[in-house]
Amino acid sequence: EENNDYAKRFFHMVKSNVVGPRGILLQNKAMTIEGVLDTVSNEKMENAWREWGRKENASVEGTRSWLDMQNLFVNTVARDGEAIIRLVRGYDNPFGFALQFIESDHLDEDHNEELSNGNRIIMGVELNQWKRPVAYHLRTRHPGEYSYIRSNGKLTDRVPASEIIHGF
């Protein structure tokens, strides 16, 4: 990706054509009870959306804006085939919400199991009887870390699917 001009161009085109220069934006169209656009409320909500999209609010690390995360998402899916984002509700920012990118290596692809409740874990994704994801089993540390190999503690966390966006 970094040393090949064709790959560089491809990823640039992905970002340009999928996300665009401004990314996905909110354009609120709330109406008054009379059926007229409520421009004051709409402007307040759009301003709050822009404020949340600043890097100190949008990402748990405080290093990525909403636009940065959109670009990272499409680039990661194009390069790696998947991207995992955790929705962190109750986060310590003015909005009580932020996003966390999780490297796909954290998904425990070696975890396959039949559960007593009828669910099945397939490559770290817990599915119900209809094959709908209900949870993701994520490694607590990156498998390439030395401390992961020597860890005596809990190796995975079960994260409800309602907290995960798994793009692939």
> Can you give the pLDDT at residue 155?
81
* pTM of the full structure: 0.86
Dump pLDDT digits (tens) for 47-84: 999 999 999 999 999 999 999 999 999 999 999 999 99
Burial class (CB in 10 A: 0-12, 13-18, 19+), 111: middle
Other Cβ atoms within 10 Å of 160 Cβ, number: 12
pLDDT band at 97 (very low <50, low <70, confident <90, very high): very high
E strand or H helix at 107? none
∠ at Cα 137 (83, 68), nearest 5°? Answer: 25
> Can you give the pLDDT at residue 142?
84
> Can you give the pLDDT at residue 143?
81
Q: Do 139 and 57 touch, CB atoms closer than 8 A?
A: no
Q: Could you give the CA distance from residue 54 to residue 56 in angstroms, rounded to a whole number?
A: 6
From residue 44, give the alpha-carbon distance in Å to each of 28, 33, 41, 48, 65: 10, 18, 5, 6, 20
The half-sphere exposure of 110 on its side-chain side, counting CA atoms within 13 A, is 6
Question: What mean pLDDT, rounded, does the chain reach?
Answer: 93
Spatial neighbors of 46 by CB under 8 A, at least 6 apart, are 26, 27, 28
Dump pLDDT digits (tens) for 29-52: 999 999 999 999 999 999 999 999
Residue % of the chain over a pLDDT of 70: 95
What b/e sequence results for 75-87 when a residue is b if at least 16 CB atoms lie within 10 Å of its CB, and e otherwise?
A: bbbbeeeebbbbe
